[in-house]
Structure 1
């Protein structure tokens, strides 16, 4: 299966008064065409920074691209000018931002915000853009789209605003859709509706989706592949089935043990991951999970493990995968 976008050894830092924050450190993964790939991990692990870097939405300074490539349809995004990126953003690559409360312009009507991209990238006139926007609002489940077209964001509920964000991101029929925490701050019922909507739109339009989330329930429901990030690096990757059935990295196992399970006959206490993520102003040379890992070895402190092949498309960055490591029971 061909890939629509491939990230190779991406490194991004932020320069602050306190020093350099190494937010993303050598991240590599790819998104196969027509599939859904999830990047998971706790807050601060570099998920959103990676997503914004893929669309060159980071302000430089304070951000700095320290290295790597982002190949979209074979062309390196990081080598393109801002004018070239303006032709790609919203047209070939769409993005659903994390908070619709702040992502929508409160002074412009919903219709104006949806049609803006169509008129810029698809050369629609006002009438054509309005007809297409109304169809999009209907597609994403907004009732009475003709009336809603002329309303403002404050007249919509949180779930409705998120649907509008999806409509805006799909206005130009992008090949790749990046969804950054699309169900954050929504109740469970609305979350399910948004996820079903994304799945339906992917089937109808063939769009590839990169989903940024910390909700493993969402991942299990919707995703084909999973990339697990911790402290700015990829610690495990594989198909969703491989990750959920046979997680190898202690951090991935900790994530799975910290969520409630409905397939167990007896209720079991959740096991949180003790400790806090490392300081990315001064990351250690070894495994970033060393200080929180119950199975840490001496080598983990000073030597960073490489991604080792487990089986199939499954890879794990852990010294426990090394042939000389002792078997942990």
Structure 2
């Protein structure tokens, strides 16, 4: 019996496989995170995120040059402040590292898209993402402060702000603030479906943002919930989000696909620190082929529906594409 169709025929060579490949990751899909710190001439590797660094403003500009030269269109800027207090006031201080780095990067590389993370956790003495009321976070009292942070980033030159705090109503508060102050052209990339995940451990070490007590499960999403993610995304879209993020990525690809199918906005995923660190640890032990695992992982995110992938692998991935 002869078989009319053999799927293997289209797998016979690298050239044929390339011709019929359904999903492709390109440099244009990637965003590279940067961690900026006070000081000058600082480039210190982050032990929990090997290959990534704490960078002073001058060194962040040099890192951004490398990103642009690689064909990656955007960086996502996080910061460690000079000081912390109960309100997190260094988060909107124009002299803080994030604002200084945004301004320096945009001056040096005007075509590179600079996205800024908007949250209070790195800046508060207690490590939570908003103002405290007793032992919990006061959602509504936190909104004006988050809007003030976003405004300071816009003033510094950010092209896009990315609120990651998961306070209800923060996208509307930020959109209103930006529109009222002449920054209606600044986009909002919202962490719309952000889960209370155990995959964030290395990031909290890198950003010095671990909460001093309790955890963030009262405002970040329960990992067991899928339908709730669609509601969260719908609320952010209604409030004015331009791009929505699902975070983490790898354990939530089902959520990515549901969001992609339900909404017309671009969908981003955050390939988070724990996902990255596990790959690095396994590769260091010789247990996996790092380039192949990274590219398979990023391809799965793109295949699930992600238009944009925020990843610490970005610079390496471009070399392996």
Q: What TM-score, normalized to structure 1? A: 0.32
Higher relative CO (CA 8 A, sep ≥ 6), structure 1 or 2?
A: 1
Kindly indicate which of the two structures has a greater share of residues assigned to strand.
1
Q: What TM-score, normalized to structure 2? A: 0.33
Kindly indicate which of the two structures has a greater share of residues assigned to helix.
2
User: Between Structure 1 and Structure 2, whose CA radius of gyration is higher?
Assistant: 1
